[in-house]
Chain A
Amino acid sequence: MLNKKSLSFRIITRVLLITATLFVLILTLYYFYARNSIQKTTREYAIQLAGNIVGKVESELKPLEKIPQLVSASIGLGFFQEDSLIRILEEIVERNPSIDGSCIAFEPYYFPDKGKYFMPYVYRHNDEINTSFLGGNEYQYFYMDWYQIPKMLNKPYWSEPYFDEGGGNMLMTTYSHPIYINRDGTPHFIGVATIDVELDKLTDYISEVKIFETGYAFMITRNGVAVTHPDKTQIMNTSIFSTSEEWNAPVMREIGRELMQGKSNFRSYNIPGRNKRWIYYTHLNSLRWSIAVVYPDDEMYASLKQMNLLLLVLIAVGLLIISLVTTGIVRRLAAPLQQFSNSAHEIAQGNFEVELPKELNSIEMQELNNAFKYMQDQLAIYIEDLKQTTSAKEKIESELRIARDIQMSMIPHSFPPFPDLPQIDLYAMLNSAKEVGGDLYDFFVLDKNKFCFAIGDVSGKGVPASLFMAVTRTLLRSIADKHKTPSAIMNVLNKSLSLNNDSCMFVTFFLGILDIETGELRYANAGHNPPLYIKKNGKVLFMDMGTSIPLGLVGDYPYSESTIKLLHGEKIFTYTDGVSEAENASHELFGEEKIHEVISKYNDADPQSMIRFMTESIDKHVDGFEQSDDITMMSINFKGNGSA
């Protein structure tokens, strides 16, 4: 699989992320737009569908209203005799197949000879027209809705539906029109004229309306009672209000109340435990009943959901293709990179002639190729240069090593130096910072009982300093042959060094001559660090030097000398500034105080040990930091002739 840090992976993930985001955005916009559009279309369709149903019901029922209306008016105007009424009713039922019965019912004793009840009734039964006269204690029609309501309200009335008594299980409704006669100029109620209408054809029509899978249309009465229902046993039993109670769904009551108020509306509703639905409801003008069409939300949007699913699959496939194509392109474009990488490895191993990738498919790769080529050429040239430089440097280094050997051979370095001089114990060391250094020390016996020693530090380092040092040391030996006091030696040495000293080099120098019989030490100093004087009682002092300048600067500078007398066992410790100025990583100097402290601590040690302790102390202070200056130390123990 792809490495997560690979170029291909990064490019593909970013491309996919952006593309997928874009797709999702477009899909979401599309979804909401389409949803809105479906809702709008559904609403329009629902209004149209409900309108059709309303139209159908109205066109069936409305014309029928004319008949009782006409009958009432005719009776009110006295056109019919009571005995001709049956004939009229028969005509009505016979001529109107949608009418299943018709009656004219009168107020008590309206026709005195007909008694309390007078209600001629004609009805269809098994396709035959039957006549009868109803009314009596067991049928007190005055109190029935179809009679009482138009009477009390003074207007026609479509009754709540009912199942016919004939046992045909047909759903009926009765339209009643009040009959008035004019008595003393005021209308006077005398009874009602009715028709019975079978509703089954209408309810079948409504029940057959199918909306998607489970959507349906229904009709309810002004009391909210179901006239049609998917479950036939609920017809005339349940109402929108009773269902609202049973399902604990107040929204149904809300809808029912809007229907009662004659409102039309398209809305959605949720009933806990049931799918969300959309409903459009409207009102029948004649019966004041209501028609509603119900759209299950999930079915309404089913096509949209399918479309979305399809789009999602397409998007997934699209993303897959994009990722494959992108991988291919990136791999092809980036292929030379691997070759460049291999070439770079080869070059690193010294094969500058390695071949670079040839099939370069982009300007960027061509540029990279040029850069590589340039690098190859430059490296070859550089390495050639380097070879020459290195060999030159190696030569110089070898010469320097020889120079160092020569330099080191110039100073005494066998200890103890004078096995036949028991009065003196001495140890010295010189540790150059570079191959050759500017520090020097020397000691030799002048005559039988005069012992001369010196330590110095040439300005600068390296070859010039070492040459100057060699000159100084050679001059010292030759001058000391002729002049026997420190000051004289110093003055002559200074004069010689100052001559033709165009490069202005100089050397700090300390020179002492010790009388090994008496312990008298005469010494002169030319700007050198003051040596330490370790007294017999263990006290350590910096020797008094006065002020002076280094040798080689001023040819006629008068150097003076001082004298102290060493007791047996007293010591002198000399050093160059490489000791006092030894640096650690934080650029802290070792310092003269520290030198004094170390010497005080080891005042009993012999010269070699003393220098070893000092070296250890410096190493500890420097802690591995690079040595920048020559370090030179010389320690002398005046033992005398052992009598002290």
Chain B
Amino acid sequence: MNMYKTTFSFILIFIAVMQALGQKPKLVFSAHWMPQAQFAGYYAAKDQGYYEEAGIEVDIIHPSASVNAVEFLATGEADVISLFLITAMQVKHKGLDVVNIAQLSQHSAIMFVAKKDSGIETIEDFDGKQVGIWLSGFDELPRAMMDKFAVEVEWVPLLSTVNLFLLGGIDVMTVMYYNEFNQIYLSGIDREELNIFFATDYGFNIPEDGLYTLRETAVNKKEELRAFVDATLRGWAFAAKNKDYVLQLVIDIMRDNRIPSNKAHQSWMLDKVLEMIDLDNKNLIPGKLHRDDFMQAFEIIRYQYDLDFQLEYNEFFKPALNLPQSN
């Protein structure tokens, strides 16, 4: 306790000194994917000066083809990253001591699509079929789903396009409701031409995007992280109310990063991501990882990879915000 106090005092002094020098404490945040509306809240918070107002300076970086966000975290290039809950647990299982400091998304957006003319009507019909999956990870839940239904599929790793699916090279594709699902629509396939399977409809409503740091960072930079999460939530609230403005912000960032973008798709993505964050839902506490969601994700990791894997909710979820105590 004394130690904790000393550290806390030290941080306060550090912040005070930095501010006196005209420099704010700096955080580097890495999104877990390329720039797109999925991260609109962060861009908005930075654009609107919410981070500065909260007394911190934030750099937003994105993974590249060669380095992913987890690696940024492990090497210290990023202080805080966004990640799927289940991916983060897998990272933890593999040995990197990450903690969840805020759960932003509260629902799952993972789904499967198959063209109707493929004759695939049910999950059972996936058996023996080639199913596209992201090469970059985020595949724990789809794999767990197939296990649950005892369906053997041939996974076909994909980088980032939906072209192989459009051309009929694979029968089924794992997609995000807010992203690839709409990309397929915007490539000219009508929704009526697809059979769709939402993970949530099969008992896999596991929330996705959350914020993660190394355990020591969560302690050492507690104040900055709290400021970061708080300002980020403000950023999302701003995005929800100023969609057109934020969309243009997103598109500009994408263009700067030479990533193809258009308003129709980013608008869809922003809408759907906001639905998952669900800020207006009075039953949800923004930033909170619910114990049930934690348990469901934990069970998937356990059964999928390691039945001996142990992880305590309180050890994994270290909220940066002071959340009201409930389940």
Assess whether A241 is in contact with B168, with CB atoms less than 8 Å apart. Answer: no
Question: Is B76 on the interface with A (CB-CB < 8 A)?
Answer: no
A-B contact pairs, 21 of them (CB 8 A): A139-B66, A143-B158, A145-B161, A148-B158, A148-B164, A152-B130, A152-B164, A153-B169, A160-B161, A223-B187, A224-B188, A233-B255, A238-B264, A239-B186, A239-B187, A240-B188, A241-B185, A241-B188, A242-B186, A242-B262, A242-B264
Shortest C-beta distance, B202 to chain A (Å), equals 27
B265 within 8 A of A: yes
In the bound complex, residues from chain B placing their C-beta under 8 Å from that of A139 are 65-66
Among B67, B166, B260, B267, find the residue whose CB has the most chain A CB atoms closer than 10 A. Answer: B260
Please give, as numbers and ranges, the residues of chain B lying within 8 Å of A498 by CB-CB distance: none
Q: Does B156 reach chain A (CB closer than 8 Å)?
A: yes
Residues of A within 8 A of B186 (CB): 224, 239, 241-242, 245
In the bound complex, residues from chain A placing their C-beta under 8 Å from that of B168 are 153
Please state if B166 and A223 are interface contacts (CB–CB under 8 Å): yes
Q: Separation in Å of the A478 CB from the closest CB of chain B?
A: 137
Given A153-B168, A224-B188, are A239 and B163 neighbors across the interface (CB < 8 Å)? no
Q: Does B261 contact A (CB under 8 A)?
A: yes
Nearest-Cβ distance from residue B71 to partner chain A, whole angstroms: 11
Total A-B pairs, Cβ < 8 A = 83
Q: Which residue of B lies closest to A137 (CB)?
A: B66
A residues in contact with B169, CB < 8 Å: 148-149, 152-153
What residues of chain B lie closer than 8 Å to A145, measured between beta carbons? 159, 161, 163-164
B17 at the interface (CB under 8 A from A): no
B-binding segment of A252-260, A445-453, A587-595:
A252-260
Let me know if B258 and A163 touch, CB within 8 A. yes
| A238 close to B262 (CB less than 8 A) | yes
Q: Give the number of chain A interface residues (Cβ < 8 Å).
A: 34
Does A246 touch B at the CB level, under 8 Å? yes
Scan A113-149; emit 1 where CB is below 8 A from any B CB, else 0.
Answer: 0000000000000000000000001111001110011
Q: How far is the CB of B285 from chain A (nearest CB, A)?
A: 34
Q: Chain B residues with Cβ under 8 A from A224's Cβ? A: 186-188
- Other CB < 8 Å A-B pairs besides A242-B263, A244-B264, 20 of them? A138-B65, A140-B159, A143-B135, A143-B157, A144-B159, A145-B159, A149-B169, A152-B170, A222-B166, A225-B260, A234-B262, A236-B260, A241-B185, A241-B188, A242-B265, A243-B262, A245-B267, A245-B268, A246-B262, A260-B188
B307 at the interface (CB under 8 A from A): no
Complex Cα distance A140/B160, Å? 12
Q: How far is the CA of A225 from the CA of B186 in the complex (A)?
A: 9
Interface residues of B in 262-292 (CB under 8 A from A): 262-265, 267-268
Q: Point out the residues of chain B lying under 8 angstroms from A186, CB to CB.
A: none
**Is there contact, CB below 8 Å, between B161 and A138?**
no
**Residues in chain B near residue A225, CB distance under 8 A:** 260
Residues A246 and B164 in contact, CB atoms below 8 Å apart: no
7 tightest A-B CB contacts, nearest first: A138-B66, A242-B264, A245-B264, A152-B169, A242-B262, A223-B187, A238-B262
Name the A residues within 8 Å of B1 (CB-CB). none
CA distance A255 to B161 in the complex (A): 23
Check if B3 is an interface residue, CB within 8 A of chain A.
no
Cβ-based interface call for B167 (8 A): yes
- Contact residues, B143-175 vs A (CB, 8 A): 156-159, 161, 163-164, 166-170
Nearest-neighbour CB distance to chain B for A137, whole angstroms, equals 7
Binding site for B on A (CB under 8 A): 137-140, 143-145, 148-149, 152-153, 160, 163, 222-225, 233-234, 236-246, 253, 256-257, 260
Minimal Cβ-Cβ distance residue in A for B258? A163
- With most chain B CB atoms within 10 A of its CB, the pick from A139, A140, A237, A244 is A237
Q: How far is the CA of A405 from the CA of B158 in the complex (A)?
A: 144
User: Do B163 and A243 touch across chains, with their CB atoms under 8 A apart?
Assistant: no
A237 adjacent to B262 (CB under 8 Å):
yes
Cα–Cα, bound, A245→B167 (Å): 23
Chain A residues in 8 Å Cβ range of B159: 140, 143-145
On whether the beta carbons of B262 and A253 are closer than 8 Å, the reply is: no
Residues of A within 8 A of B64 (CB): 138
Partner of B187, one of A149, A241, A245: A241
Contact of B264 among A163, A236, A243, A256 (CB under 8 A): A243
Residues of A within 8 A of B135 (CB): 140, 143
Q: Could you tell me the distance in whole angstroms from the C-beta of A203 to the nearest C-beta in chain B?
A: 16
Which residue of B is nearest A239, CB measured?
B186
The smallest beta-carbon distance between B159 and chain A, in angstroms, is: 5
Chain B: CB-nearest residue to A244: B264
- Closest residue of chain B to A138, judged by CB? B66
CB under 8 Å from chain A, chain B span 206-239: none
Complex Cα gap A224–B130 (Å): 26
How far is B265's CA from A246's CA once the two chains are assembled, in angstroms? 9
Partner of A237, one of B130, B261, B268: B261
Question: Complex Cα distance A153/B167, Å?
Answer: 8
Cα–Cα distance between A456 and B65 once the two chains are bound (Å): 149
Cα–Cα distance between A253 and B168 once the two chains are bound (Å): 21
A192 to chain B, nearest CB (A): 14
Chain A residues within 8 Å of B262, by CB: 234, 237-239, 242-243, 246
| Chain A contacts for B67, CB-based, 8 A | 138
Determine the chain B residues whose CB is within 8 A of the CB of A137 once the complex forms: 66
What's the least CB distance linking B174 to chain A, in Å? Answer: 14
Which residues of A have CB within 8 Å of B255? 233, 237
Of B164, B188, B258, B261, the residue contacting A253 (CB under 8 A) is: B188
Q: Kindly list chain B residues whose C-beta atoms are within 8 Å of the C-beta of A257.
A: 188, 190
Cα distance, A236 to B262, chains bound together (Å): 9
Q: How far is the CB of A260 from chain B (nearest CB, A)?
A: 5
Of the residues A223, A238, A256, A260, contact of B163 by C-beta under 8 Å:
A223
Tell me the smallest distance from the CB of B94 to a CB of chain A, in Å: 17
Task: Tell me the chain B residues, 34-83 only, with Cβ under 8 Å from chain A.
Answer: 64-67
In the bound assembly, the distance between CA atoms of A257 and B188 in angstroms comes to 6
Find chain A residues with CB under 8 A from B267 CB.
245
Instruction: State A477–B64 Cα separation when bound (angstroms).
Output: 161
- B99-146 residues with Cβ-Cβ distance < 8 A to A are 130, 135
In the assembled complex, which residues on chain A have CB atoms less than 8 Å from the CB atom of B187? 223-224, 239, 241
Q: Which residues of the partner chain A approach B258 to less than 8 Å between Cβ atoms?
A: 163
**What's the Cα separation between A350 and B173 when bound, in Å?**
115
- What 0/1 pattern do residues 244 to 269 of B give for CB contact below 8 A with A? 00000000000100101111110110
Q: Taking the nearest CB of chain B, how far is it from the CB of A139, in angstroms?
A: 7
Distance between B276 CB and nearest chain A CB, rounded to angstroms: 21
CA distance A236 to B261 in the complex (A): 8
Once A241-B186, A256-B188 are accepted as A-B contacts, the answer to whether A160 and B264 lie under 8 Å apart by CB is no
Smallest CB-CB separation from A234: which chain B residue?
B262
A223 CA / B188 CA spacing, docked (Å): 7
Which residues of chain B come closer than 8 Å to A237, judged between CB atoms?
255, 260-262
The answer for the CA separation of A145 and B132 in the assembled complex, in Å, is 13
User: Closest approach, in angstroms, between the C-beta of A232 and any C-beta of chain B?
Assistant: 12
| Complex: A573 Cα to B111 Cα, angstroms | 133
Task: A260 to B166: give the CA distance in the assembly, Å.
Answer: 11
In angstroms, Cα B170 to Cα A224, docked, is 20
Q: Determine the distance from Cα of A149 to Cα of B66 in the docked complex, in whole angstroms.
A: 22
Inter-chain CA distance A233–B262, complex, in Å, is 10
Alpha-carbon gap, A160 to B164, bound state (A): 11
Instruction: Give min CB distance, B261 to chain A, whole Å.
Output: 5
Q: How far is the CA of A260 from the CA of B267 in the complex (A)?
A: 24
Q: How far is the CB of B323 from chain A (nearest CB, A)?
A: 38
Q: How far is the CA of A223 from the CA of B264 in the complex (A)?
A: 15
Residues of B within 8 A of A153 (CB): 167-169
Among A149, A234, A238, A242, point to the contact of B164 (Cβ < 8 A). Answer: A149
Cα distance A223–B159 in the bound complex, in angstroms: 17
| Chain A residues within an 8 Å CB radius of B157 | 143
Q: Which residue of B lies closest to A257 (CB)?
A: B188
| A347 vs B202: C-alpha distance when bound (angstroms) | 115
Report A-chain residues with C-beta under 8 Å of the C-beta of B65.
Answer: 138-139
**Complex alpha-carbon distance, A145 and B164, angstroms:** 7
Measured between beta carbons, the chain A residues less than 8 angstroms from B265 are 242
* CA gap between A398 and B65 in the complex, in Å: 142
Distance (Å) between the CB of A152 and the closest chain B CB?
A: 4
Neighbouring B residues of A143 by C-beta, 8 Å: 135, 157-159
